[in-house]
A and B are shown apart, each in its own frame.
Chain A
Amino acid sequence: ILNVEQSPQSLHVQEGDSTNFTCSFPSSNFYALHWYRWETAKSPEALFVMTLNGDEKKKGRISATLNTKEGYSYLYIKGSQPEDSATYLCAPLGGKLIFGQGTELSVKP
Chain B
Amino acid sequence: DARVTQTPRHKVTEMGQEVTMRCQPILGHNTVFWYRQTMMQGLELLAYFRNRAPLDDSGMPKDRFSAEMPDATLATLKIQPSEPRDSAVYFCASGLGDSQETQYFGPGTRLLVL
Contact = CB atoms under 8 A, between A and B. Distances in A.
B91 A49 contact: no
A74 B26 CA distance: 30
Contacts of B106: 43
Interface of A: 31-32, 34, 42-46, 49, 51, 89, 91, 93, 96-102
A89 B43 contact: yes
Contact of A98 (B45, B48, B103, B107): B45
A97 B105 contact: no
B88 to A, nearest CB: 14
11 contacts: A31-B99, A32-B99, A34-B103, A44-B43, A44-B91, A45-B105, A46-B104, A93-B100, A96-B56, A99-B45, A101-B42
Contacts of A93: 99-100
Contacts of B107: 42-43
Contacts of A31: 99-100
Interface of B is mostly: strand
Interface of B: 33, 35, 42-45, 48, 56, 58-59, 91, 93, 99-108
Given A43-B91, A43-B107, A96-B56, A49 B101 contact: yes
Given A31-B99, A32-B100, 15 more contacts: A31-B100, A42-B107, A49-B100, A49-B101, A89-B43, A91-B43, A93-B99, A96-B45, A96-B58, A96-B59, A97-B99, A99-B35, A99-B42, A99-B45, A101-B42
Contacts of B91: 43-44
Nearest to A48: B102
